[in-house]
Amino acid sequence: MSSYDVIVIGSGPGGYVAAIRCAQLGLKTACVEGRETLGGTCLNVGCIPSKALLHASHMLHEAEHNFAEMGLKGKSPSVDWKQMLTYKQSTVDSNTKGIEFLFKKNKIDWLKGWGSVPEAGKVKVGDEVHEAKNIIIATGSEPSSLPGVEVDEKVIVTSTGALELGKVPKKLVVIGAGVIGLELGSVYARLGSEVTVVEFLDAVTPGMDPEVQKVFQRMLKKQGLEFIMGAAVQKTEASKTKAKVHYKLRKDDSEHVLDADVVLVATGRKPVHDGLGIDALGVELTKRGQIAVDKNWQTSAKGIYAIGDVIEGPMLAHKAEDEGMAVAEVIAGKHGHVNYGVIPGVIYTHPEVANVGETEATLKEAGRAYKVGKFSFMGNARAKAVFAGDGFVKILADKETDRILGAHIIGPGAGDLIHEVCVAMEFGASAQDLAMTCHAHPTYSEAVREAALACGDGPIHM
């Protein structure tokens, strides 16, 4: 029987980061993973492979729509789907092997297999039982479906199946207008699919800034995606190569049917903790089925912690990473901290969409007086030079103190630009602090400064 200071169950972004940080802090650490490769959903069938396909399909879009205008003339490239999937897989492999290298470098034992907790202080992997003073559950999440929708990962697919289709479908129906559905929908739209998004609500990307939602949907429609909003999917029917999606419009209860070659079910994710045996140990769950934890990420069972998608909060890889580092600090007797008010969200379409902090809706609901500074990328010289002038930066600041409360960006490089605001918010900066900081020209980041200026006397270039 092996004995450890910490055993982490799950090697996704939360789990592998927790394991590395524990090892760096001098704790003897092991990580349990049943996949053939480390990295969890994110590296294997989520964030990383989807970004590879988003990049490849965007290059195709540039070649078809913008190259000629820049004087780059010639026959547009054709799509070799098999080679594109090979490129995607090579991207995945390089990242998962990187995690394996980091485990070896930090002397972390990889316990290969699926883990369970038969009793406090013990983790069972296969037929072996290992002792651990502390256990961190980082088992992540899995796609959730709808009643009447049976996933086969061939015709009716989740994000996992959508990343490895045998061919580019002629007609793709996406159920759900959230991050995953819109990212993968835009990939296949660029590759030539007729993409129809069916959404229960009346706006895309629920919870985001309402102005961003409207502009974002309009941009995606210009790119060829069709939207059916306010539609409740009743069921799907699938044959070997075709599918039908039955839905009912909420406004008048009228029933409709869509034909598709592939249906992508992108209706959210749910925490994974079945089979761990934590019920018998008295680990409490929330009403939504997540593992309940205290401010130190400890469950109701002493010595058992939980982080990432399996607990409350946004199901984001970087949120799990922050929690992974913080819980390691706690276990090592230090102070672990996560600022949940400054966790950015990004959608990696083109243009990108990013947000952090409050929205106008949440500020109005809280009755907090605020001001808005907004700047369009049409006033940004760099963006216009690369056909990326659509979109804007919006900064929300306290009306009296000028402290930055949130930001919403739709435009080029939004996923990177948002971190300028994140750092400012972490330091409690005002919009004026950001506005008085020199920004290199010409860069996209100047639009962030201009939005900050707009919170005061006004922007320069608009």
Lookup result for tokens 């672990």:
336
- Percent of the chain as helix, strand, coil, to the nearest 5: 35, 25, 40
E-strand stretches of 310-432: 345-347, 352-357, 370-376, 392-398, 404-411
* Token digits of residue 362: 């949440």
Measured over the CA atoms of residue 155, residue 229, residue 56 and residue 353, the dihedral's sign is negative
CA distances for 278 relative to 21, 40, 64, 135, angstroms: 24, 21, 53, 11
Q: Considering the candidates 65, 256, 337, 441, report the single residue annotated as catalytic.
A: 441
Count the residues in the chain.
462
Active site residue 58: no
In angstroms, rounded to a whole number, what is the distance separating the alpha carbons of residues 204 and 179? 9
- Residue 200 exposed, middle or buried by CB count within 10 Å (0-12, 13-18, 19+): middle
CA distances for 142 relative to 177, 309, 315, angstroms: 18, 9, 11
What's the maximum distance between 2 C-alpha atoms anywhere in the chain? 68
**Nearest Cα to Cα of residue 197 among 247, 252, 145, 148:** 247
Catalytic residue positions? 441
